[in-house]
Amino acid sequence: MPKYLILKHYQGGPEAPGFAPMNEWTPEEMEAHFQYQRDTIKMLQDAGEFVGAEGLAQTGNWVQYGGEGKPPHVLDGPFPETKELIAGWFVIDVESEARAHEVAAYVSKAPGKGGEPIFEWLEVRPIMSGPPPVE
Amino acid sequence: MTPIPEDLLREAARQVLGALVRRGADFAAAEDAVQEALLEATLKWPDAGVPKEPAAWLTTVAKRKLVDAQRADAARRHREANAALEPAAGPTEQSDDTLLLLFLCCHPALSPTLAVPLTLRAVGGLTTREIAEAYLLPEATIAQRISRAKKTIADLDLSGRGDPLGSSEPDKSQVLRVLYLIFNEGYTAGDRVDLAAEAIRLSRLLHAASPGPEVAGLLALMLLNHARRDARFDNGTLVPLDEQDRTRWDRAMIAEGVDLLQNALAEGRHGEYQIQAAIAALHDDAQASDETDWTQILAWYDELCQGTHNPLAELSRAVALGEVDGPLTGLRALDRIEERLTDYHRLHAVRAHLHERAGNTKEAAALFTKAADSATNEAERNHLLKRAARARPE
């Protein structure tokens, strides 16, 4: 049973045609979108495939080792030239890669403006497992 | 406070569940009842002491729970269990019960994802939490899988509940597959449940209840691999077979595996588990890696590939072929299976290994890196990265 990370980006992937950003949605459209996220988690829980899901705040810092005896370097993030921003993720444990893709496609179908699917791009990455079994 | 021996509870759990199901109790309801009885035992026994007949005690409690549950659910009342305490089952009945439970838990209608946790809980006597820890998953996820598995079984038409055992030569291949999957997941980190040891325990139960050459072959295969466990990891780092400290192999376990295997092979009905066990035995038999009898190993791989046409078996065969007829012959064999294993990291790794043996260090380093890039297992990836670094020409 492989685990997969389904990564949601704010930016970075190709934009779907006709995409309307969230600040153009009505409150009802937003609520429908949030409900879809909750339903997705419930669907994964009922299927026994849910491992975790988190959303990330858009604020944050870049931190680096500051050298012997010195405090860490802390910069306000993100770097201006960084186009990519991670919004959150699902972690699932599923039978196959095909099922992981199916789940990602389901997530991508979340309703947006006018209740139409937002066709969001999601990144699906296998999570490394522990030591291998029998050689 | 008297500590309860863990094995005692787990053994008794299986016996009680088996006895209830054999007497006609609904499997899903009985499994719930046994879990509740176990919980009650862990609460009461430390103070009250372990009863003289733990299985009988658990049976009584489980039956009471079953009746309670059925009273609460009027629709099920027609299946009301007999609350009277019946005499404990004899050894033969217990073996049959174990077999019945294994066939139910590994029923072909269940995907391995569902069959594995159900088998571990209902037959292995592990708790949901222990299973979740072993698989590094949330407890709720495992609980959900067990509940789905039980629902699937409840929906099956098992008219005559002994159905899976109905035939005189029941097909055990599904049970063997589930046990093998459990074994393959097994590793030894920390205080996590040792799934490999658990798979061996379950296979011993199956072997005692229903011996046969492939059952013995699977048990032997597990023992012959498990015997090398202490040498296979050094502080979390994978140590390949040819670099392992062979003095750390468990000789008693190897002897048991070889003995089982020889008796199985003597029956003259070879199957894939016996063949894989034979290959493992030949590796275990070599005092040093350069004393490995590759000619015999290759002969077993030939037989395995004839039977299965599995590209993974052919991949391993190419390694053996490289040892017997030289790396270039091994590489040619890989060309024939390449199409079926596109971008599989072990194909790149085997090709890299054969190139390294042929003295093509540049190709070897590039291929080891390629293999590391597509590996999804951390220990394996780290090992491949190191081999790439070692192969890289100065």
**Cβ–Cβ contact B114 with A under 8 A:** yes
| Domain housing B11 | 1-89
- Per the CB < 8 Å rule, is B141 touching A2? no
For residues B306-321, give the mean pLDDT.
Answer: 90
**Cβ–Cβ contact A96 with B under 8 A:** no
- Per the CB < 8 Å rule, is B135 touching A47? no
Per DSSP, A30 falls in state H
pLDDT of A67-110, one tens digit each? 999 999 998 766 665 556 788 999 999 999 999 999 999 999 99
pLDDT tier at B220, thresholds 50, 70, 90: very high
Position A24 in a domain? yes
* Distance of residue A47 Cα from the nearest chain B Cα, in angstroms: 7
Nearest CA in chain B to A126: B376
Residue-level pLDDT at B8? 84
Position B26 in a domain? yes
In Å, the largest CA–CA distance within chain A is 56
For residues B279-298, give the mean pLDDT.
Answer: 96
Position A61 in a domain? no
Tokens of B41: 């035992």
Residue-level pLDDT at B76? 45
Average pLDDT, chain B: 87
Give me the residue from A2, A47, A128 closest to B378, CB to CB: A128
Question: What secondary structure, in 3-state letters, does chain B show?
Answer: CCCCCHHHHHHHHHHHHHHHHHCCCCHHHHHHHHHHHHHHHHHHHHHHCCCCCHHHHHHHHHHHHHHHHHHHCHHHHHHCCCCCCCCCCCHHHHHHHHHHHHHHHCCCCCCHHHHHHHHHHHCCCCCHHHHHHHCCCCHHHHHHHHHHHHHHHHHCCCCCCCHHHCCCCCCCHHHHHHHHHHHHHCCCCCCCCCHHHHHHHHHHHHHHHCCCHHHHHHHHHHHHHHCCHHHHEECCEECCHHHCCHHHCCHHHHHHHHHHHHHHHHCCCCCHHHHHHHHHHHHHHCCCHHHCCHHHHHHHHHHHHHHHCCHHHHHHHHHHHHHHHCHHHHHHHHHHHHHHHCCCHHHHHHHHHHHHHCCCHHHHHHHHHHHHHHCCEHHHHHHHHHHHHHHCCC
pLDDT of B66-75, one tens digit each? 888 877 765 5
**Cβ–Cβ contact A128 with B under 8 A:** yes
Most confident of B44-48, B76-80, B377-381: B44-48
Residue-level pLDDT at B214? 97
pLDDT tier at A125, thresholds 50, 70, 90: very high
Residue-level pLDDT at B133? 86
What are the two backbone dihedrals, phi and then psi, of residue A44, each rounded to the nearest 5 degrees? -70, -35
A129 contacts on B by Cβ (under 8 Å): 376-378
**Cβ–Cβ contact A133 with B under 8 A:** yes
Position A7 in a domain? yes
For residues B112-118, give the mean pLDDT.
Answer: 94
pLDDT of A18-70, one tens digit each? 778 888 898 899 899 999 999 999 999 999 999 999 988 877 888 999 999 99
**Cβ–Cβ contact A47 with B under 8 A:** yes
- Per the CB < 8 Å rule, is B376 touching A131? no
Nearest CA in chain A to B143: A48
Q: Distance (Å, rounded) from C-alpha B195 to C-alpha B216?
A: 19
Give me the residue from B113, B136, B380 closest to A132, CB to CB: B380
- Per the CB < 8 Å rule, is A51 touching B189? no
For residues B259-268, give the mean pLDDT.
Answer: 97
pLDDT tier at B167, thresholds 50, 70, 90: low
Give me the residue from B135, B183, B238 closest to A132, CB to CB: B238
| Domain housing A36 | 3-52+74-125
Nearest CA in chain A to B149: A48
pLDDT tier at B375, thresholds 50, 70, 90: confident
- Per the CB < 8 Å rule, is A48 touching B144? yes
- Domain CATH number, residue A111: 3.30.70.1060
pLDDT tier at A16, thresholds 50, 70, 90: confident
As for how many domains chain A has, the answer is 1
* Distance of residue B24 Cα from the nearest chain A Cα, in angstroms: 29
Of all residues in chain B, what percent carry a pLDDT higher than 70?
89
- Per the CB < 8 Å rule, is A131 touching B238? yes
* Distance of residue A113 Cα from the nearest chain B Cα, in angstroms: 33
Q: Which residue did the predictor score with more confidence, A135 or A101?
A: A101
Place of tokens 């290959």: B279
Helix (H) or strand (E) segment spanning residue A27 = helix A27-46
Res. B190: pLDDT tops 50: no
As for how many domains chain B has, the answer is 1
For residues B281-298, give the mean pLDDT.
Answer: 96
Residue-level pLDDT at B169? 60
pLDDT of B319-349, one tens digit each? 999 999 999 999 999 998 988 887 789 999 9
**Cβ–Cβ contact B139 with A under 8 A:** no
Tokens of B346: 């072990």
Position A57 in a domain? no
Candidates B102, B146, B182; CA nearest to A1 is B182
Position B83 in a domain? yes
Nearest CA in chain A to B221: A134
Residue-level pLDDT at B54? 87
**Cβ–Cβ contact B343 with A under 8 A:** no
Residue-level pLDDT at B77? 43
B380 contacts on A by Cβ (under 8 Å): 131-132
**Cβ–Cβ contact B308 with A under 8 A:** no
Position B82 in a domain? yes
